[in-house]
């Protein structure tokens, strides 16, 4: 994953959260979206991490994932992305499903 890919991913997460809040009935001109996203961002990140971990086929893959997740440099980020694509079939669809599930659960919870 290049710097542009990382930036795009972050931007996409921000756009996803903005759209989710609008769907939930929040108004960007009246509600503090930054505050709301600060609450949602770690929940989304944790969901993604847990789903990725569970999707990896072997204990060795999960151990590699753990090691790669703790790396901070850009090279490790690129390697992690390549690793996940090589281990999780239909990776883009898999990720899209995570976002869809998160959205559906959040919107359902907001009804209560």
> In this predicted model, what pLDDT tens digit does every residue of 66-104 receive, in sequence order?
988 887 776 677 888 899 999 999 999 999 999 999 999
> In this structure, which long-range contacts are made by residues 33-37, counting pairs with CB atoms below 8 Å and at least 24 apart in sequence?
none
Query: In this predicted structure, what is the pLDDT of residue 5?
Result: 43
Residues 3-17 pLDDT 10s:
344 334 445 889 999
* Res. 2 pLDDT band, cuts 50 70 90: very low
Mean of per-residue pLDDT scores for the chain: 87
d(C-alpha 21, C-alpha 51), whole Å = 22
């Amino acid at each position: 994953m290049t710097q542009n890919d990382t930036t795009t991913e972050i931007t996409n997460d921000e756009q996803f959260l903005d759209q989710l809040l609008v769907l939930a009935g929040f108004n960007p001109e009246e509600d503090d979206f930054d505050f709301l996203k600060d609450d949602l961002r770690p929940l989304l990140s944790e969901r993604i991490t847990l789903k990725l971990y569970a999707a990896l086929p072997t204990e060795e893959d999960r151990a590699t994932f753990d090691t790669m997740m703790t790396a901070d440099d850009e090279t490790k980020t690129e390697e992690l992305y390549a690793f996940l694509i090589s281990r999780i079939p239909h990776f883009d669809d898999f990720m899209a499903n995570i976002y869809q599930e998160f959205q559906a659960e959040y919107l359902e919870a907001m009804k209560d």
